[in-house]
């Protein structure tokens, strides 16, 4: 299992247009949808009848630069296949960009049903070499880039619910195995992705009253990032063999979570890789002891060691030896 973000991905998805399919009539926003996982998600939603807002800032693998080309190409690809899509090229890690993202869906299609937060990039360093700018940049695009669109969309859905138009709204956030277990050389990315899991749980609890379900995925796929970092395990297979690391393998679950068919599923984290889907079970109370009074330090240490002897060993951090 490896960590990921949305990056370059090959292979398209047939668009079924807006006439039928699991997401017929729904309007879906996908951030970071110009390449890799986000592109695969956008195409898959369109193939199930959704109208799609394709967001991408068009930055490089490290977040530098910017271009409207990737978002527009994916929107054009959906349109050429008979679907309906518009491009949005704003920075969703800003208040203005998040507001314009939701406004684009409402202005173009009159509604918003599903938000897929996927945008991100990597700046990997070992902790002792990780500068503050690299920390801030990764936290900004991943964590703030999830929070701001989620907050804006949630405000819209709350207003709809209070007006008597209860939505069947869905949010799918993009976490990572790095956020669940940690990943050597990815302290900033791991912290951001762990924060996304926490944000998902809180949002699911707070927004359920307004008809909003919030879940997260921790996917593994071949993208611009993973091809560079995990060249051997992410290599494409010979022609004709199942491509286990294709981004398109992740999208079916995302589409289902983003549809009305996922009714009742919220506050969950799923690992998704190749043909495997796993429900991740987070922190739960393990062995415990209660002295009833304050511990002395040596006694507390002895109790901790006895509890650890009874506890499950943690899974290793990715990349640890």
Distance of alpha carbon 83 from the chain centroid: 23
Three-state secondary structure string covering 196-252: HHHHHHHHHHHHHHHCEEEEEEEEECCCHHHHHHCHHHHCCCCCCCCCCCCHHHCHH
**Segment 67-94 mean pLDDT:** 95
Q: What tokens were used for 61? A: 């693998």
Q: How confident is the model at residue 222 (pLDDT cuts 50, 70, 90)?
A: confident
Q: Which carries the bigger pLDDT value, residue 82 or residue 68?
A: 82
How many whole angstroms separate alpha carbon 186 and alpha carbon 225? 12
* pLDDT tens-place string over residues 290-318: 999 999 999 999 999 999 999 999 999 99
Domains of the chain: 27-280 (3.40.50.720)
φ, ψ at 251 (rounded to 5°): -65, -35
Positions marked catalytic: 176, 189, 193
Q: Give the residue-averaged pLDDT of 34-46.
A: 97
């Amino acid at each position: 299992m490896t960590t990921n973000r949305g990056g370059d991905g090959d292979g398209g998805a047939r668009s079924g247009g807006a006439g039928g399919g699991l997401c017929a009539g729904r309007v879906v926003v996908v951030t970071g949808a110009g390449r890799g996982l986000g592109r695969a998600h956008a195409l898959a939603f369109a193939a199930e009848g959704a109208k799609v807002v394709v967001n991408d800032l068009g930055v490089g693998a490290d977040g530098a630069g910017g271009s409207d080309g990737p978002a527009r190409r994916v929107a054009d690809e959906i349109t050429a296949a008979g679907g309906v899509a518009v491009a949005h090229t704003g920075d969703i890690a800003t208040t203005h960009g998040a507001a314009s993202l939701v406004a684009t869906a409402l202005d173009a299609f009159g509604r918003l049903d599903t938000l897929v937060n996927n945008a991100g990039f990597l700046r990997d360093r070992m902790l002792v070499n990780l500068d503050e700018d690299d920390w801030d940049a990764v936290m900004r695009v991943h964590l703030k880039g999830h929070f701001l669109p989620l907050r804006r969309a949630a405000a819209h859905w709350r207003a709809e619910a209070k007006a008597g138009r209860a939505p069947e709204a869905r949010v799918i956030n993009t976490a990572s195995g790095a956020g669940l277990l940690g990943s050597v050389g990815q302290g900033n990315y791991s912290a951001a992705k762990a924060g996304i899991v926490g944000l998902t749980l809180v949002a699911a609890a707070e927004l359920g009253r307004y008809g909003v379900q919030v879940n997260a995925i921790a996917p593994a796929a071949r993208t611009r990032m993973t091809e560079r970092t995990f060249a051997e395990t992410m290599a494409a297979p010979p022609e004709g063999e199942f491509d286990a690391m294709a981004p398109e393998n992740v999208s079916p679950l995302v589409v289902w979570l983003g549809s009305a068919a996922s009714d009742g599923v919220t506050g969950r984290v799923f690992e998704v890789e190749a043909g495997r889907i796993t429900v991740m079970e987070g922190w739960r109370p393990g062995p415990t002891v209660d002295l009833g009074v304050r511990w002395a330090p040596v006694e507390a240490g002895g109790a901790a060691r006895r509890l650890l002897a009874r506890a499950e060993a943690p899974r290793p951090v990715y990349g640890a030896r």
